[in-house]
Structure 1
Amino acid sequence: MERVFGTKGNKSKNKTTTAKKPLCDAEKRFGKKQKKSKNKKGKKDASVDTTENPIAKLNEMFKNLAGGKSNPAPSEPSKPAAAAKVKNATICDDEPATSKLPPPPPCIVMPPDVKPAPPPPAPVVKPTAPPVLVVSPAPVTTDPLTSYSPATLNSTLSFTEKWMGEETAKIWLEKVGFMKTKQEFEQIQNVVVPVDACKKWKANRPLNQPPQDYFPVLDANLVVFENTYVNMSAIDVALPKSKIFMCQIPLKGSEEAFWKTAFDRQISYMEIITDQEAIEFFPIGNGEHVYHGTMFVNNRRVEAVSEEMTRFAIEVLPEGCSNSIICTITIVKNWSPDSVHAKQAVVIKEIIEMTTFLTKAKDENALVMSKHGAGRAGYFVALAVVVHKLDKATEPPIQEIVKSLRGQRPRAVESLTQYVSLYTTLFYYIKRKVGRSDGDKKAAIECDEPTCKKTVQLTTTFTNALIAEVNAAAGRSTLTVTIK
C-alpha cells in the first residue's frame, strides 16, 4: 500500500494497485502544475539533470523509503505546514521512518525576520606528516690545500679602503733609527741562558741537530708526549691563537716521536724554512706513503706554489686510530741560515697565510720549523707578531717581542741581520699598504706619499748601515746600496 497525495481538498484512499513513485517536496507543492506542464512535443518531461543536483539525492532516499511497509496516512494541504506551526526558531522532527535506513536529516525552520546562521566552518584536517627519513650528513671534506691557499701579493697587500694601521705606522716610522736598533739587539744578546733549565735537551744530545751544544731548549715549555723527547717548544705569542709551536727538523730515527707529538697536539699547519736541508720525515712525492713505526704518513697532494715554495697535504694516522689529520705543510726554500729570504714578498705572504689559519683555527695548531727551530723560525714568528700588531693599529715593540721569544726558545732571531730585517721588512710592508690604496701595482713602486718616501729613506739607511756592520766584523770594505 502507498500514501497518495492529491490536490487541495482531496482525501486519502486505500488502493490495492501497484505502488507508485513517491513525490518529492517540489512535487508536493507544485504537483498540480507539473502534471499540466509538458514539453512542446509531448514526448518527454522537462526534468532537470540530476547527476549533481542535490534534489536528486532526496528522490533516491524516498525511493528507498517507499520499499518498506507503512500504514496510509491522511493527506495534508498543499500549503507549507511548517509556517503554521512555527512560533519560535524550532527544529521539527519528521515522521519516524519505517525502513531500516537512517531517517532524512531534520529540517530547520527560521522566522522570516531572522537571518539563518552561517554554516559551521569545515573542520581543518591537518595533513598527515610524511615519514621522516633520517639521513646522516655527508662528512665535510675540505681540501687542505685550498682552505688556506696562499693569496697573491696583490690580494694580501692591496685594499681600496684606508689601511687601519696607517696612522700608527706614520708615528712609528718617526721613532726608529739604525743605531737604536743595533743597541736593542746587543741588549738581547747579553741575556744568558741557564743550562740548568735545559736538562732534557742536554740529556738527549744525540737527538738534536748539530751543533748539538749551540741551540738549547728550555724544559719549562718543552713539548713531551709519552715520555719521548722531541726538540719542540710551545710558544706564547700575541697572535689570533695565543700559542704556536717551534721545532727543529727531525733527525733520522726520531720521525715517529715527532709525528706522535704533532698528532697529539693537532698540528695541522706547518711552515718549514730551509736552504738545502733534506726533508725526510714525510714523503715528498704525490701519492707516496711511509710508516714511521706506528705512524702512517701519506702524501695526499703536492702543489708547486712558486719557485720558492712548495705546499703538501700530508695525512697522519696512528696505528689503531680511525681518524687521521691532514697537515698542510709549506716548504719555503732558498733561505740561508743566519740570514733572511731574498724576497720580502714571499715571507709577507706566508705570515699572512699563517695568521689567517690561526684566525680560523679552533682546536688546530700551527708550527714553524727550521734546522734548529731558532734563528729563521724565530724571525718568521716575530715578523708575524709585528705585522699583526701594526694591522691592529698598535705600535709593534720589536725588542720586547724578540725578548719574549728568546725567553721561550733561546737563540730565536739569532743574528743582527735577522733582527734588522724585522724593521726593513716592516718598512716594505708599510709602503705596500699605503701605496696600494688604489690597487695599482705601479703605484706602490712609485708612491709619492710622504709615508712611502719615509719608508724608502729608512730602508736605504738601515741596509747600508747593516752592510757596513757586517763587513766591519769580517774585516772587509763596505758597500753602499741605493734603495728605490
Structure 2
Amino acid sequence: MASRGRRKAARKRKDVTYECGEELTAGTGGSRKSIINTLKSAEASLYDSVEGLRKQFKEKLASYRAPDDKYKFTAFEAHPDKNRYLDVVCLDDTRVRLTMDVPPSTDYIHANWVKFEGHDKVFIATQCIEDGKIKSSQYWPLDPGAFKNYGKMFVNTKKVESEGKFLIYTVEVLPEGCSNSNIVKVMHMTSWPDRGLPMSGRHVLRLIRQGDKLDNGPIVMHCSAGIGRTGTIILIDVILRRLFSGKDIDMVEMFKHLRNQRASCIQVEGQYLFVAVSVLDYIKIKLPRYKDKVNKFMEEFKAALLASA
C-alpha cells in the first residue's frame, strides 16, 4: 500500500513505445506548395515502378552495411546470452547503454538509437516476442488495473484502448526507490505478421498519427528481431516528416542512414516496397492530383504481393 501512495504523488512524464497513423498534419510548417515541390523532386524515388524499386533494393541496398569504421559490435559479441539472433548484430557506435543500477560491464541490451537530422523524434530500435512464442517475458500487464513487479520496476496498466488493428496501453512505471513515475504508452500493432506484409499502409499511418498526439519523448520501436517491421515504420515516419517540412526525399540515402545506426534494418525488398506504399497511401489521401500515379503503383504492389504468397 505504501508504494501506491507514492505513485499517486509522483510527477509523471510521458514516453511512448510502438510495438510492431490515417492522417498526419503538416505541423512542421510545410505549405502545400512546398510539399508539392518536394514530391516533384522525390518523384523518381517514390513513384518508380514496383520492379524499379525491387531492382534498386537488390542492386544498391540489400547487402548494404555501415562503413567499416562504424561496423563494429564488440558488446554484441561479449554478451551472446543477451542476443536473440546470431546474425543480427548490435552496432557499438549507436547502442543503447543501460544506466540504472548497472555497472558498465553489464550495461548491454540489443538496442540502438536511431536519429535523423532535422527530425524531432528519437527512436530506440530493439527486439521482443512474436507469434505467441515466448522469446522474452511479457513486460507489461495486459489487463486494466493489473500490476506486477519486474525486478526493481513496479508496472501498472492503467488503461487499454482499441484502435482497430492496434491496442494502446497506458502504463505507469515506477522504479524501486524513486518517487517519480513515468507514464508510458504501449502501442501494440496486431495486424502485421512476421514474414508478411499488410495490403495497405493505412494502419501504419494511423499508428504514427496516434504517436503524434502524445508528448515528446523517446520512442521504443520493436518487433521480433527489431530490424524488419521496426525499421520499416521508422523510415515511413521519417519520410513523412521530411515531406511536410519541404525537405528532399532520397529513399536510398535515408535507408543507408538507417542501417548505419541499426544494422540490417528493413530486411527484405517487400518491406522496402511497403515504405513507398505507405507514403503513397498518405499522398493519395491528402493530394488527389497524384491519385492515378498512386493507384497504378498500388495495383503493381498488390499483384506482386499475391504472386509471392
- Per the normalisation by structure 1, the TM-score is 0.52
Equivalent residue runs for 1:134-149 within 5 Å: none
| Cα offset, 1:201, TM superposition | 1.4
Equivalent residue runs for 1:244-393 within 5 Å: 244-249=123-128, 276=132, 280-306=138-164, 308-357=165-214, 360-361=215-216, 364-393=217-246
Q: Distance in 2 between matches of 1:277 and 1:310?
A: 19
1:204 aligns with 2:79: yes
Note the alpha carbon deviations across 1:160-201, whole angstroms, 9 max, x for none. Answer: x95752343245336623343223212222225679711211
Give the strand-richer structure, 1 or 2: 2
Structure 2 counterpart of 1:384, which letter?
Answer: D
Structure 2 counterpart of 1:293, which letter?
Answer: G
Question: What residue in structure 1 maps to residue 57 of structure 2?
Answer: 185
Structure 1 counterpart of 2:74, which letter?
Answer: K
Q: Please tell me whether Structure 1 or Structure 2 has the larger radius of gyration of its CA atoms.
A: 1
Q: Distance in 1 between matches of 2:34 and 2:183?
A: 34
CA contact (8 A) 1:235 1:244 kept: yes
Question: What residue in structure 2 maps to residue 231 of structure 1?
Answer: 110
Structure 2 counterpart of 1:315, which letter?
Answer: E
| Cα offset, 1:343, TM superposition | 4.0
Secondary structure of the 1:302 match is: strand
Secondary structure of the 1:407 match is: helix
Q: Distance in 2 between matches of 1:313 and 1:396?
A: 34
Q: Distance in 2 between matches of 1:305 and 1:144?
A: 20
| Cα offset, 1:217, TM superposition | 0.7
Shift of the 466–300 alpha-carbon distance from structure 1 to 2, 3 Å rule, reads closer
| Cα offset, 1:353, TM superposition | 3.1
- Per the normalisation by structure 2, the TM-score is 0.79
Secondary structure of the 1:197 match is: coil
Q: Distance in 2 between matches of 1:355 and 1:388?
A: 11
Note the alpha carbon deviations across 1:300-355, whole angstroms, 9 max, x for none. Answer: 1111222x211111111111110011101110013122433344211012123334
Structure 2 counterpart of 1:219, which letter?
Answer: D
Note the alpha carbon deviations across 1:339-382, whole angstroms, 9 max, x for none. Answer: 3334421101212333454xx52xx3111111111111000000
- The answer for unaligned runs of 5 or more in structure 2 is 1-8
**Which of 75, 86, 107 in structure 2 is aligned with 1:213?**
86
Shift of the 405–355 alpha-carbon distance from structure 1 to 2, 3 Å rule, reads farther
CA contact (8 A) 1:275 1:333 kept: no
Question: What residue in structure 1 maps to residue 120 of structure 2?
Answer: 241
CA contact (8 A) 1:338 1:417 kept: no
Q: Distance in 1 between matches of 2:203 and 2:141?
A: 24
Single out whichever of 343-352 and 238-247 deviates more from structure 2: 238-247
1:422 aligns with 2:275: yes
CA contact (8 A) 1:240 1:355 kept: no
| Percentage of pairs with the same residue | 20
| Cα offset, 1:462, TM superposition | 4.2
- The answer for unaligned runs of 5 or more in structure 1 is 1-138, 251-273, 436-448, 472-484
| Cα offset, 1:293, TM superposition | 1.4
Which aligned segments of 4 or more residues in structure 1 are displaced greater than 4 angstroms? Answer: 139-145, 155-158, 161-164, 192-196, 274-279, 465-468
Q: Distance in 2 between matches of 1:416 and 1:322?
A: 47
Note the alpha carbon deviations across 1:398-420, whole angstroms, 9 max, x for none. Answer: 11111111111111111110001
Question: What residue in structure 1 maps to residue 3 of structure 2?
Answer: none
| Cα offset, 1:157, TM superposition | 7.2
Matched residues, number: 282
Shift of the 464–173 alpha-carbon distance from structure 1 to 2, 3 Å rule, reads farther
1:432 aligns with 2:285: yes
| Cα offset, 1:229, TM superposition | 2.1
Q: Distance in 2 between matches of 1:327 and 1:295?
A: 13
Shift of the 367–171 alpha-carbon distance from structure 1 to 2, 3 Å rule, reads same
CA contact (8 A) 1:309 1:331 kept: yes
CA contact (8 A) 1:275 1:335 kept: no
Question: What residue in structure 1 maps to residue 5 of structure 2?
Answer: none
Shift of the 289–466 alpha-carbon distance from structure 1 to 2, 3 Å rule, reads closer
1:166 aligns with 2:36: yes
CA contact (8 A) 2:73 2:91 kept: yes
**Which of 297, 301, 305 in structure 2 is aligned with 1:458?**
297
| Cα offset, 1:385, TM superposition | 0.7
**Please, what is the CA RMSD of the aligned residues?**
3.3
Q: Distance in 2 between matches of 1:192 and 1:403?
A: 8
